[in-house]
């Protein structure tokens, strides 16, 4: 087995373990604190620092990865995530909004250090001019990560029912500690380490800037209705149990991840060529129609369960192709010396979109219900499409 592929498998395995804890802790917090009587907006605010510090982490983390090595950034993230999990094991009386926000801030920093390190590392495991293989590796990493995050949703909900809140947190901490030991042993020291000046954080090519802007609105569009509004709607309006909510969201994200992993084959089937900037605009245009149609169907009194099941399936497929193409192009348009900093900058925009979407998810759902969230989601995707149009002439490797 070639060394690059072996390192890729090690990074992917560590990323998988981390992703399970990331999905599980989100579901644990949403369901447990809803049970304690928190409002939708209060639950959304619990994730405010999680997303905010993701913005800061991605911006600085790309530079940090270039200075100390991507493997060290990954391991720092794992240690911080273990700390965030253990912070929530205190008695209920300590679990104030401010305290939980602080724990989520630590988790947000950990998540983005881990993600930036894993995504940027893939570029370094391949020789130059390997775009087709790069797309396959990135799609597999991203798709499998999201499938495992979906599994994390289910695991979090199931552990909440089985071991209760604190027992679930201890179990997740032990699993991540094992992954930390394995990746620490197998990964090379100084992966991706370069002498990157801090000023390069803001020195980006136009296509990186346009792509990052489109990413902001794409992921804001998803989280506006998916993070807080959807699980609360399923539980409070449709009457689903904790485990049913977790299982459904898990299956959706697993399916979404599977489509991401197949994105290279799907795009080749439709276009017969490697994706470029124009691919993003086409798929974003299709995606914008879906939440708008779902909102109109709900307003017309259609069966809410059926609308969400069909709409979520279609949204997941189209969104997955968009996301996988984004993840590939940011690496394809980055050189080996700049990859960690470009990926950090790009995922800073991703975190900004998630932050905006998370806050709006609680606010819009509390004020205008699921329809309000869906209409706003459609507007965000439309903006992402307009930004992507600026990239129509830029192809892979450009």
Of residues 179 and 347, more confidence is placed in 179
Determine the average pLDDT of the residues in 204-228: 89
Q: What percent of the chain has pLDDT over 70?
A: 88
Reply yes or no on whether the pLDDT at 193 is more than 60. no
Structural domains of the chain ordered from first start: 3-391 (1.20.1250.20)
Reply yes or no on whether the pLDDT at 1 is more than 60. no
Q: What percent of the chain has pLDDT over 90?
A: 28
Q: Which pLDDT band holds residue 180 (cuts at 50, 70, 90)?
A: very high
Reply yes or no on whether the pLDDT at 243 is more than 80. no
The first and second tokens of residue 197, run together, are 């000046």
Q: Which pLDDT band holds residue 48 (cuts at 50, 70, 90)?
A: confident
What is the greatest pairwise CA distance in the chain?
59
pTM exceeding 0.85? no
**pLDDT, position 80:** 95
Determine the average pLDDT of the residues in 279-288: 91
**pLDDT, position 302:** 94
**pLDDT, position 126:** 62
User: CA-CA distances (angstroms) from residue 95 to 99, 100, 104?
Assistant: 6, 6, 12
Any residues with CB less than 8 A from the CB of 286 and at least 6 apart, and which?
318
Reply yes or no on whether the pLDDT at 39 is more than 70. yes
Q: Which pLDDT band holds residue 296 (cuts at 50, 70, 90)?
A: very high
Q: Which pLDDT band holds residue 197 (cuts at 50, 70, 90)?
A: low
User: CA-CA distances (angstroms) from residue 48 to 11, 55, 186, 247, 360?
Assistant: 28, 11, 35, 25, 11
How far apart CA 340 and CA 347 sit, in angstroms, is 10
- How high does pLDDT run on average in the chain? 83
How far apart CA 28 and CA 153 sit, in angstroms, is 8
Q: Which pLDDT band holds residue 129 (cuts at 50, 70, 90)?
A: low
Nearest to 288 by CA among 246, 318, 264: 318
**pLDDT, position 252:** 85
Could you tell me if 277 and 394 are in contact, meaning their C-beta atoms sit under 8 angstroms apart? yes
**pLDDT, position 271:** 65
**pLDDT, position 354:** 86
Please provide the size of the chain in residues. 398
């Amino acid at each position: 087995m070639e060394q690059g592929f072996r390192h890729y498998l090690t990074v992917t395995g560590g990323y998988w373990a981390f992703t399970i804890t990331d999905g599980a802790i989100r579901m644990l917090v949403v369901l447990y604190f809803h049970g304690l009587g928190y409002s939708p907006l209060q639950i959304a605010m619990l994730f405010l620092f999680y997303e905010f510090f993701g913005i800061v982490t991605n911006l600085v983390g790309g530079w940090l990865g270039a200075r100390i090595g991507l493997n060290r950034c990954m391991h720092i993230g794992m240690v911080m995530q273990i700390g965030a999990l253990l912070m929530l094991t205190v008695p209920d009386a300590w679990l104030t909004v401010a305290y939980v926000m602080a724990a989520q801030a630590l988790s947000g920093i950990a998540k983005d250090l881990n993600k930036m390190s894993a995504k940027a590392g893939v570029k370094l495991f391949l020789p130059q001019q390997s775009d087709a293989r790069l797309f396959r590796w990135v799609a597999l990493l991203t798709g499998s990560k999201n499938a495992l995050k979906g599994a994390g949703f289910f695991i979090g909900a199931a552990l909440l029912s089985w071991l209760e809140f604190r027992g679930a947190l201890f179990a997740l901490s032990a699993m991540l500690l094992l992954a930390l030991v394995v990746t620490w042993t197998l990964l090379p020291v100084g992966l991706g380490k370069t002498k990157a000046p801090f000023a390069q954080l803001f020195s980006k090519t136009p296509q990186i800037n346009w792509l990052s802007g489109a990413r902001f609105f794409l992921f804001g569009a998803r989280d506006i209705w998916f993070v807080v509004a959807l699980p609360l709607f399923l539980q409070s309006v449709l009457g689903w149990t904790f485990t049913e909510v977790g299982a459904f969201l898990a299956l959706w994200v697993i399916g979404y991840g599977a489509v991401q992993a197949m994105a290279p084959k799907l795009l080749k089937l439709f276009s017969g060529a490697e994706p470029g900037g124009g691919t993003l605009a086409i798929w974003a245009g299709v995606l914008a129609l879906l939440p708008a149609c779902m909102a109109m169907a709900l307003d017309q009194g259609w069966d809410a369960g059926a609308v969400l099941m069909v709409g979520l399936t279609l949204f997941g497929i189209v969104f997955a192709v968009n996301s996988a193409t984004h993840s590939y192009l940011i690496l394809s348009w980055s050189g080996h010396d700049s990859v960690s900093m470009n990926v950090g900058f790009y995922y800073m925009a991703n975190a900004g979109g998630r932050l905006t979407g998370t806050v709006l998810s609680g606010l819009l759902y509390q004020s205008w219900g699921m329809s309000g969230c869906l209409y706003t989601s459609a507007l965000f995707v439309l903006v992402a499409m307009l930004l992507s149009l600026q990239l129509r002439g830029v192809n892979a490797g450009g």
